[in-house]
A = this chain, B = another copy of it.
Amino acid sequence: MSLPAYLDERRQAVETALTTCIPDAPPVIVDAMRYSLLGGGKRLRPVLALSACEAVQRREGPDAWAMAMPVACAVEMIHTYSLIHDDLPAMDDDSLRRGRPTSHVVHGEGMAILAGDGLQAEAFALLAREPVSDDPRIAVRKLAALQTMAEAAGAAGMVGGQALDLAADPKHARPQQAPPAPVMDAQALADMHARKTGALIRASVIAGAIMGGATDPALAALDRYAREIGLAFQIVDDILDVEGASADLGKTAGKDAASGKPTYVGLYGLDRSRELAAGCLHRAEAALADAPLDGARLAGIARWIVDRRT
């Protein structure tokens, strides 16, 4: 099977599974949660969770990825909630996401905040509930995967990265914060992105692998792989923000550069940024090469992340 067909098969399985992830609840909140969760997207993180599970099990297909499907859905729910909150007027103030009006434009700011809050809670409810099993060994795996996801979503991970991003934005200076935030250097930019974007990408891979029964050496290799592709993803995002068109991206292009936000392209220029992304890809492939798993698909996904145009 070609990589595009492989990705499509998993994306479609994820789309189907996501439709069952919102519980029976008041329609006003269900509608807002579904609007954003089922509004398209690359579904990169859920595919990574399924592929990591397949890689450690050394087999492909629904039987192999079934254990990781709750992780796949939960990571997309957490990612979606973070986009809803990130787009709010008090944060990035964006009106276009995945080619459609953002949540607060459609549902109002208050309901958008609640839709994000609800998606986060339901992500963890799903991880605690599924896969349904009486086997205590599966319970141990589920707890480990859930802890990985929650810590990645929390203050040391995604939320911490967004806080650093926000604090570095002059227009969001805190009321009681006297001096303006210092401009980020390369190290601060890398740390911010490792948290904001990298932590959840890493958690997708690690939690998917844990559900597949990964050994410690496999997890160590996947940890190195995931950190490299997380960084590559952000570098390419910055490149596309400069090169891309809003219609292709499904979000407002050129916005980061225009707002004066720190970016890899801003720090290093386009050519050096492309070299940095290629270096990440090289190290990601090397991490997989000697690992006790079948890393061919994960290597393909790494190349796709670097080569993507949207």
Residues on the B chain within 8 Å of A150, using CB: 121-122, 124-125, 128
Interface residues of A in 34-64 (CB under 8 A from B): none
Q: Does the CB pair B26–A117 fall under 8 Å?
A: no
Residues on the B chain within 8 Å of A120, using CB: 117, 120-121
- A250 close to chain B: CB less than 8 A: no
Among A120, A122, A128, A174: residue with most chain B CB under 10 A: A128
Q: Does the CB pair A23–B155 fall under 8 Å?
A: yes
Interface size on A, residues (CB 8 A): 65
Measured between alpha carbons, how far is A146 from B126 in the docked complex, in Å? 10
If the complex has contacts A26-B164, A29-B160, are A155 and B121 also in contact, measured as CB distance less than 8 A?
yes
- A91 close to chain B: CB less than 8 A: yes
Measured between alpha carbons, how far is A291 from B234 in the docked complex, in Å? 56
Residues on the B chain within 8 Å of A26, using CB: 155, 160, 163-164, 195
Our pick among B82, B110, B122 for the contact of A166 (Cβ within 8 Å) is B110
Q: Does the CB pair A147–B129 fall under 8 Å?
A: yes
Measured between alpha carbons, how far is A109 from B92 in the docked complex, in Å? 12
Q: Does the CB pair B28–A172 fall under 8 Å?
A: no
- Measured CB to CB, the closest approach of chain B to A112, in angstroms, equals 8
Residues on the B chain within 8 Å of A139, using CB: 136, 139-140, 143
Interface residues of A in 109-123 (CB under 8 A from B): 109-111, 113-114, 116-118, 120-122
Pick the interface stretch among A100-108, A256-264, A273-281. Answer: A100-108
Q: Does the CB pair A106–B176 fall under 8 Å?
A: yes
- A96 close to chain B: CB less than 8 A: no
Measured between alpha carbons, how far is A33 from B139 in the docked complex, in Å? 30
If the complex has contacts A122-B150, A124-B150, A136-B140, are A25 and B110 also in contact, measured as CB distance less than 8 A?
no
Q: Does the CB pair A155–B122 fall under 8 Å?
A: yes
- A302 close to chain B: CB less than 8 A: no
Q: Does the CB pair A159–B108 fall under 8 Å?
A: no
The proximity string for A residues 125-161 relative to B, scoring 1 for CB distances below 8 Å and 0 otherwise, is 1001100000011011011101100110111111110
Q: Does the CB pair A124–B146 fall under 8 Å?
A: yes
Q: Does the CB pair A22–B155 fall under 8 Å?
A: yes
What would 10 more interface pairs be, CB under 8 Å, given A28-B163, A32-B163?
Answer: A25-B156, A30-B155, A90-B113, A114-B162, A117-B117, A118-B160, A124-B150, A125-B151, A136-B137, A136-B139
Listed from nearest, the 8 A-B pairs whose CB atoms lie closest are A136-B136, A90-B109, A125-B150, A128-B147, A121-B154, A29-B163, A25-B155, A118-B159
17 A-B residue pairs with Cβ-Cβ distance under 8 Å, sorted by A, are A23-B154, A25-B155, A25-B156, A26-B155, A28-B164, A29-B160, A29-B164, A32-B163, A82-B117, A88-B110, A90-B90, A106-B175, A111-B166, A114-B163, A122-B150, A125-B150, A146-B146
